Amino acid sequence: MKSVFFDPVWDSGLKYIEPKIIVPEKIIKLLKHIDRRLSGYEFNILFKAKWTDEGLRLLDDYVIPEQEVTMSSITMLEDCQKLRDRGYNVLVHSHPCDDFSAVDDEFQNPHYLAVLCYNNTRHKITSAVINVKINENLVLKVYAEVEVEEFSEEFNVDLSKIRIKKEVYLGKKTPSEIIDEYPYFF
């Protein structure tokens, strides 16, 4: 008997993925750099992102909106709607805690496709949310896994001018002991 689970009639062609945000390592380095320069003050930075078969991938295209910050609050001085209209749809919010405040959740976070909380005392992303807009008045908050992607840029380097020379293993001897024992090599 044929299983209905492998019948092409039942194959939708859709890929089903878990909520995940992929963050390139260089973005983490950028956040740490900004954090060092601001010495623990909160900050917001907006990124562009795109959906892939793996999840939502942050791109290294970012903008820092004009803002006034303290160690516990941010006042946005620039209209972020204009930036969202230009595709900056992911907010990284620096915060001294592991999760967002109630004020963040009510007034700031629902306006973005995704929001990541960068803990500025632990120097890492500690919480992430993907927002699914249900209708004009309802946004579904879905906690997401964050996967930091190690630096993956490939280098195309011509190594043809480097030759590897095979060496004889000489054990745990000091350079002077090796010279004394094998003076004809030197």
- Above 80 in pLDDT, residue 80? yes
Own/partner long-range contacts of 99-107 (Cβ < 8 Å, ≥24 apart)? 99/126, 99/127, 100/127, 100/129, 105/141
pLDDT band at 83 (very low <50, low <70, confident <90, very high): very high
Quick one: pLDDT at residue 84?
96
| pLDDT computed for residue 173 by the predictor | 65
What is the mean predicted confidence (pLDDT) over 62-89? 92
Q: What percent of the chain has pLDDT over 90?
A: 44
Helix (H, G, I), strand (E, B) or coil at 164: coil
The pTM assigned to this predicted structure is: 0.74
Distance CA 106, CA 75 (A): 15
> Where do the structural domains in the chain lie, given as residue ranges?
15-149
Q: Can you tell me the mean pLDDT for 163-184? A: 61
Topology at the third CATH level for domain 15-149: Cytidine Deaminase; domain 2 (3.40.140)
| pLDDT range class, residue 15, cuts 50, 70, 90 | confident
> From residue 96, how far is each of 65, 75, 126, 181, 182 by CA, in Å?
20, 16, 10, 61, 61
pLDDT grade for 73, boundaries at 50, 70 and 90? confident
Q: How far, CA to CA in Å, does 145 sit from each of 96, 115, 137? A: 20, 12, 26
Please tell me the distance from the alpha carbon of residue 151 to that of residue 59, in angstroms, as a whole number.
13
